[in-house]
Amino acid sequence: MEAGRATAVDPTALRVLDAAGLWLDLTGQVASPQLSEAGKALLTARQFNLYRDGLFAGHSVNNTEERAAWHTMLRAPAPVEAVAAERQRMNEFIRKADSERRWRNIVHIGIGGSDWGVRLTVGAFGYAGMWRQVRFAASIDGHAIEGALAGLNPHDTLIVLASKSFTTAETLQNGRRAIEWQRNAGVEDPYENLMVVTACPDLAKAWGARDSQIFRLWDWVGGRFSLWSSVGLTTALAVGSDVVAGMHAGAAAMDMHFASAPFEKNAPIQMALAGIVNRNALGYASLNIAPYDFRLANLVPYLQQLEMESLGKSVDLDGDPIHVATGPAVWGMPGTDAQHTFFQWLHQSSDGAPVDFIVCQEAGHHWPEHHRSLLANCLAQREALLQGKSYEEALKECLASGLPQEKAEWLAKHRVHPGGRPSNLIVLPKLTPYTLGALLALYEHKVFVQGVVWGINPFDQWGVEYGKVLAQGITEELSGAKPKDAAGHDASTAYWVQRFGG
């Protein structure tokens, strides 16, 4: 980390990598030959090649749950037989539904990894309208399912229920409401309008789903990677099977790049090491995601889950405390909206944060002047973070605007930009299923590299599980199913359980 602290961002040293058809510009990151050698040594010390090989081979890289994290197999050009069979089965279902023009509406019910990836892809490629209307219900808040069902024809609505464990409270409760809604509207057999995606088909069948209407996951598919599985059913029904296939192809290309590109040209590795320097050497506690593309509005929450659920750990693989900072908080929104919301903080606050700028070279619309402005804003904001503005430059501007010397000297202090703030620029030639798939896989592998370096398991989420257990007990207290246990809660929780439970 000393090599990182001793080096500054050099905006004159261009660093652009080509990875699976994307361009990753690392010019805005701290870099030096000494830092590169330190990164190599760190990966060697952490047996990175061994872990990477294990990831692609389907070995048990998720040590706390004793399972693989083999999401790369889901998008492999020649997958194992079980994956290929399920992929074919889903495609046949979609072809039949499309040929019959069945279901004008889809209500997708899932949460976390069973939701964000589908929202992202449907928003990216269906933003201008689809012949099937898609709505989402994720939260346990009843307004979510009420809004998702409102105004739809129950007889022409498919319910897609996605839950790996088929025990997810939010998903099952929302699913019950959807079945009730159809039954109350006179649908003779609501389960004919239900498709389930799960790793626990027996639980789904006990709930009422037919075996023929269940698409299977495997326990080695982590929820935040399930976009690549049959969870993509809604995506395919909404925007086409070719979109799903294209995303698989782009992700597989990035998998190949990650597995084979040399250290200096390996985009996930270089992006990961830059992030580690920003976190551990430069002390940045967060990472801003700034997609300069309206269609990628859901990329931010998708990456929040990927990064923060994977890297939000404080013990290593042996369960011992980690004595360095691990995953940063991830936040953001699309540009140029973000410029009018929080970019002031990025430019001139005392803390600041590294920024991942993401933009498409070619637009998907027919108004070139709009896209030129979008590209200009993206480049300008990044340049301002990189170059900054000195007091002397600010003073010159103030004087040139006609301000008196004394006022110009005062105002110039407020217009100084420190500069040297780290950033990446990720450029897609244009937004296609292929390039979006490659982009998501780039981030997946970046997160994996950081997990290896920090010595943590990026594939479990025990913090989330603990909260679920507590919620179940509190739900029983609120409903009267078990006595209120004031002694078992802190003072605040006990007070509100009593107040909410009556």
Three-state DSSP state, 475: helix
Identify whether the C-beta of residue 70 lies closer than 8 Å to the C-beta of residue 54.
no
Describe the chain by its helix, strand, coil percentages, rounded to 5: 55, 15, 30
Identify whether the C-beta of residue 128 lies closer than 8 Å to the C-beta of residue 181.
no
* Count of C-beta atoms within a 10 Å radius of residue 128: 8
Which residue type does 1 have?
M
109: part of which helix (H) or strand (E)?
Answer: strand 105-109
Identify whether the C-beta of residue 237 lies closer than 8 Å to the C-beta of residue 103.
yes
Identify whether the C-beta of residue 185 lies closer than 8 Å to the C-beta of residue 151.
no
List CB contacts of 20: < 8 A, sequence separation 6 or more.
Answer: 250, 253, 254, 256, 257, 438, 441, 442
CA–CA distances in Å: residue 455 to residues 4, 324, 326, 328, 465: 20, 11, 10, 15, 21
Catalytic residue ranges: 309, 340, 468
Residue 407: phi, psi to the nearest 5?
-70, -35
- DSSP 8-state assignment for residue 464: H
State the Cα–Cα distance between residues 341 and 331, nearest whole angstrom.
12
- Sheet-wide strand order for 194-198: 133-137, 105-109, 157-162, 194-198, 214-216
Identify whether the C-beta of residue 179 lies closer than 8 Å to the C-beta of residue 161.
no
Which residue type does 300 have?
V
CA–CA distances in Å: residue 267 to residues 17, 248, 259: 6, 19, 11
Lookup result for tokens 């699913």: 175
